[in-house]
Copies of this chain bind each other. A is one copy, B any other.
Amino acid sequence: MTTRTTVAAVREETPQEDRLIFLNQALREAVDEEMQRDPAVFVLGEEIGVWGGAYKVTEGLLEKHGPNRIIDTPISEALIAGAAVGAAITGHRPIAEFMYSDFMGIAMDQIVNQAAKNRYMFGGKATLPIVYRAATGAGIGNAAQHTQSLEAWFTHVPGLKVVTPSTPYEAKGLLKSAIRDDNVVIFLEHKALYASRGNVPEGEYLVPLGVSDVKRVGAHATIVTYSRQVIFALEAAEQLAQEGIEVEVVDLRTLYPLDIATAITSIQKTNHALVVHEAVQFGGFGGEIASQIQEQAFDYLDAPVVRLGALHSPVPFSEPLEFGSFPSVEKIAEAVRVLLSRA
């Protein structure tokens, strides 16, 4: 399984050369390249044109591709989601941007009852190649209505795929795969990562949907996570290494389709599993991950699978409270220590 990942890595993911860019630049390149590659691709959303996108992902694309393919919409999230459905079912490949994933609540009917189900309800005939992009996550003082991590809602809806990149390299490769995918893909970008820099090779490459990645190898415990928490988990692993605890970090990268096998293989080796995400722990996607782990690796576990997510509250505004509400490097490290102390 790890092999499969590595194979995939070798086949599609080897950086050709070194080039450090920001994650939002990486996303821009993905959109730009795919727009050049396929005339059916266009972008619609709020403030994506003149403003360049709230997080500048589409900056400069209006000038380059014109108002016919970079479409500024009014504040009408249901329209954005629904127009993407109408355009997709008639042959386009729309990329619809929600400024914040929190606003998708306004568009849930179009996303869930229309986009996700049309193909199935119509007997498998319709094809809806839509990417719904949205800025997600907390950590920059946006308060409760601009900070949620709602991936769990979407993973529960058959007909949707869910992608949660953690690095600029993967952000670009995964977005290009999502745009070329013939399904409805929910692409969740952590807003605290837009300004993170990483190595992104020049030119064409893809990161396939549905393939987890082992971000760090270790023998004692496995952390299964995704999105920004991958970065925190790697830092925690670094700290723990000082203490002689070797942690393996598995980045799921896509939540549906879910490659759990990579995590299972790791846990069969480490016998300890910690599932981490920034979303509220209760009812979060961690429940699916933990359940599958204990279903598939029951006999390998020296301790119960432990989950670490946000406390049970909306995201508070005040800085100390906000940072105290979701998993931190310290909390992750501590959770691993407790997990191992149990065996």
A residues whose Cβ falls under 8 Å from a Cβ of B: 78, 102-106, 108-113, 116-117, 120-121, 143-145, 148, 150, 152-153, 155-159, 256, 258, 279-280, 282-291, 294-296, 298, 301, 303-307, 312-314, 316
A141 to chain B, nearest CB (A): 14
Q: Does B312 lie within 8 Å of A304, measured CB to CB? A: no
Q: Does B144 lie within 8 Å of A314, measured CB to CB? A: no
Given A117-B144, A158-B313, are A307 and B291 neighbors across the interface (CB < 8 Å)?
A: yes
Q: Does A116 lie within 8 Å of B294, measured CB to CB? A: no
* A314: contacting residue among B105, B117, B290, B294, CB under 8 A: B117
Q: Kindly list chain B residues whose C-beta atoms are within 8 Å of the C-beta of A113.
A: 102, 105, 144-145
Q: Does B145 lie within 8 Å of A282, measured CB to CB? A: no
Q: Does A105 lie within 8 Å of B116, measured CB to CB? A: no
- Number of identical monomers bound together in the oligomeric complex: 2
Given A145-B117, A298-B304, A304-B295, are A285 and B283 neighbors across the interface (CB < 8 Å)?
A: yes
* A283: contacting residue among B117, B144, B156, B314, CB under 8 A: B156
Q: Does A158 lie within 8 Å of B280, measured CB to CB? A: yes
Q: Does A121 lie within 8 Å of B143, measured CB to CB? A: yes
Q: Does A288 lie within 8 Å of B295, measured CB to CB? A: no
Q: Kindly list chain B residues whose C-beta atoms are within 8 Å of the C-beta of A285.
A: 283, 287
Q: Kindly list chain B residues whose C-beta atoms are within 8 Å of the C-beta of A298.
A: 301, 303-304
Q: Does A314 lie within 8 Å of B282, measured CB to CB? A: no
Q: Kindly list chain B residues whose C-beta atoms are within 8 Å of the C-beta of A159.
A: 314
Q: Does B144 lie within 8 Å of A280, measured CB to CB? A: no
Q: Does B106 lie within 8 Å of A279, measured CB to CB? A: no
* A152: contacting residue among B103, B104, B152, B290, CB under 8 A: B152
A314–B109 alpha-carbon span in the complex (Å): 14
Q: Kindly list chain B residues whose C-beta atoms are within 8 Å of the C-beta of A120.
A: 144, 313-314, 316
Q: Kindly list chain B residues whose C-beta atoms are within 8 Å of the C-beta of A280.
A: 156-158
Q: Does B312 lie within 8 Å of A156, measured CB to CB? A: no
Q: Kindly list chain B residues whose C-beta atoms are within 8 Å of the C-beta of A145.
A: 113, 117, 121
A307 to chain B, nearest CB (A): 6
* A108: contacting residue among B105, B152, B256, B279, CB under 8 A: B105
Q: Kindly list chain B residues whose C-beta atoms are within 8 Å of the C-beta of A305.
A: 291, 294-295
A291 to chain B, nearest CB (A): 4
A282–B279 alpha-carbon span in the complex (Å): 17
Chain B residue at minimal CB-CB distance from A275: B291
A283–B279 alpha-carbon span in the complex (Å): 14
A163 to chain B, nearest CB (A): 15
Chain B residue at minimal CB-CB distance from A292: B287
Q: Kindly list chain B residues whose C-beta atoms are within 8 Å of the C-beta of A102.
A: 113
Sample 8 A-B pairs with CB under 8 A, ordered by A number.
A102-B113, A105-B109, A116-B314, A120-B313, A156-B282, A158-B280, A283-B288, A291-B305
Chain B residue at minimal CB-CB distance from A310: B158
A1 to chain B, nearest CB (A): 19
